[in-house]
Amino acid sequence: MGTYILKRLLLIIPTLFFILLINFVVVQLAPGGPVEQAVQQAESFQGMGNAAMGAEVASNSNQASQYQGARGLSDEMVEKIKAQYGFDKSAPERFWMMLKGYLHFDFGTSFFKDKPVTQLLWEKMPVTVSLGLWSTLLIYLVSIPLGIKKAKQHGMIFDKSTSLLLAVGYAVPSFVFAVLLIVFFAGGSYFQWFPLQGLVSDDFHSLSLFGKIKDYFWHMTLPLIAIVLGGFAGLTYLTKYSFMEELNKQYVIAARAKGLNENRVLYGHVFRNAMLIVIAGLPEALVGIFFVGNLFIEIIFNLDGLGLLGFEAITQRDYPVIFGTLFLFTLLGLVLRLISDVLYQIIDPRINFESRGAK
């Protein structure tokens, strides 16, 4: 087991390298980088100023249209802008400097927010973590009891009727539920019971402790409902079929033959064994909830977390923030998947990744 963990930890390094390299190349090829945006903004600003001056002297000269804004920025100014964003160096040099900084978890400074990327990630992380933890807790609280009941009543009316609900939850992504909830309950077309966006109200700091808690969950209600609706189906199916598999095993038949009632058999024997696979899958579930579902929810509800930060960085071509969030998400995803594999083998010693040649 130790050898397998060591191999996986060592493989994280080349995995991160190639992911960063591929995304670096793609970003360099994409049009409209930070230099182009800065030049365009400078030209627009300069053009407005010179247009005002040109209007004053238009009667004295028929060449007012030849102000500098019409001709564009000077070459010296463009070179200064390139140096400001580090684009006075070649792409390999920029990539090498980025890698050297990442060895010390120095992700550079944001182009447009003028803050270190590590500081931005640290500031935005509580929102993403709180959203992920609450949604994961609610998904497990809904999915496990529902999956157990479906296993107990497999093929009966309850099982068949809830299967339609699960099919919808499995097929429809969280962000679609988010849009529907906004339309119906956040002033879109019908009711305005919940706020449209944001994590807290503007007067949050002036509220009492109870008022702050109430305001926080008032804002979190619709995002959490959207995540739960889009994420509970898979875990429910996993729970159901884990319990059904255990219910058909010999020790369950023996327990029933001894005269134990159904609840004693289910929660005294089956529950512990069936829940092992569900618990072992928790890290993998966190990967999906944190890094897929929550990102879109943060954008839709304007929650100031890592997902919204990454989206804004992409639209602004803020490369340090883009690569910093990518590095963090990739690293956490790889670590959580490693933890998931380790839990599987701890819970079920029959699983041996080393004997199967797993990498």
Domain with residue 175: its CATH number is 1.10.3720.10
Tell me whether residue 27 is in a domain.
Answer: no
Same domain as 151, residue 67: no
CA distance 315 to 310: 9
In this predicted structure, the answer to whether residue 325 has a pLDDT above a threshold of 50 is yes
The per-residue pLDDT for 296 is: 82
Pick from 23-32, 297-306, 347-356: least confident: 347-356
Q: Considering the domain boundaries, does residue 5 fall inside one? A: no
* Full domain range(s) for residue 125: 117-347
Range in 284-293, 313-322, 325-334 the model is least confident about: 284-293
Q: What is the pLDDT, as a whole number, of residue 63? A: 40
pLDDT attached to residue 274: 76
- pLDDT band of 187, cuts 50, 70, 90: confident
User: Does residue 145 belong to any structural domain of this protein?
Assistant: yes
Q: What is the predicted pLDDT for the residue at 352?
A: 62
Greater pLDDT, 334 or 292:
334
- Once rounded to an integer, what is the mean pLDDT over residues 39-44? 62
172 & 274 share domain:
yes
Tell me, rounded to whole angstroms, the distance of Cα 337 from its chain centroid: 15
Q: Check whether residue 86 and residue 132 sit in a common domain.
A: no
**pLDDT above 80: residue 143:** yes
Tell whether 59 and 175 lie within a shared domain.
Answer: no
Average pLDDT over residues 317-338: 83
69, 180: one domain: no
143, 277: one domain: yes
Residue 58 confidence (pLDDT): 43
Q: Higher pLDDT residue, 110 or 64?
A: 110
Evaluate whether residue 139 is within a structural domain: yes
Residues 192 and 335 in one domain: yes
Mean pLDDT calculated for residue range 12-35: 79
Distance CA 236, CA 166 (A): 8
Which of 92, 109, 138 corresponds to the end of one domain?
92
8-17 pLDDT tens trace: 888 888 888 8
Using left for φ > 0, alpha for ψ between -120 and 50, and beta otherwise, residue 310 falls in: alpha
Q: Which residue has the tokens 């945006």?
A: 37
How many domains in the chain?
2
Mean pLDDT, rounded, of the chain = 77
Distances from the Cα of 156 to the Cα of 116, 152, 160, 170, 265, angstroms: 58, 9, 6, 21, 20
Instruction: Examine residue 359 and state whether it is found in any structural domain, yes or no.
Output: no
**Residue 252: pLDDT over 70:** yes
User: For a pLDDT cut of 90, what percent of the chain falls above it?
Assistant: 0
- The answer to whether residues 78 and 142 belong to one domain is no
Q: Is residue 191 part of a domain?
A: yes
Using 50, 70 and 90 to split pLDDT, how confident is the model at 128?
confident
User: What pLDDT score does 47 carry?
Assistant: 54
Is residue 99 one of the residues assigned to a domain? no
* CA dist., res. 40 & res. 356, Å (int): 56
pLDDT, tens digit, for every residue of 47-100? 554 444 444 444 444 443 333 443 455 666 666 666 666 666 777 888 888 888
Same domain for 180 and 269, yes or no, is yes
Can you tell me the mean pLDDT for 216-232? 88
pLDDT of residue 171: 85
The pTM for the full model equals 0.73
What number is the average pLDDT over the span 327-351? 76
Q: Is residue 261's pLDDT more than 80?
A: no
Q: Is the pLDDT of residue 45 over 80?
A: no
pLDDT at 31: 67
In this structure, what token pair is assigned to residue 294?
A: 């929550």
2 domain-assigned: no
- Note whether 87 and 128 are same-domain residues: no
φ, ψ for residue 201, nearest 5 deg: -80, 165
71 and 142 in a single domain? The answer is no
Both 38 and 122 in a single domain? no
* Contact criterion met (CB below 8 Å) for 29 and 80: no
| Exposure class string for 133-146: b at 16+ Cβ within 10 A, else e | ebbbebbbebbbeb
pLDDT of 314 above 50: yes
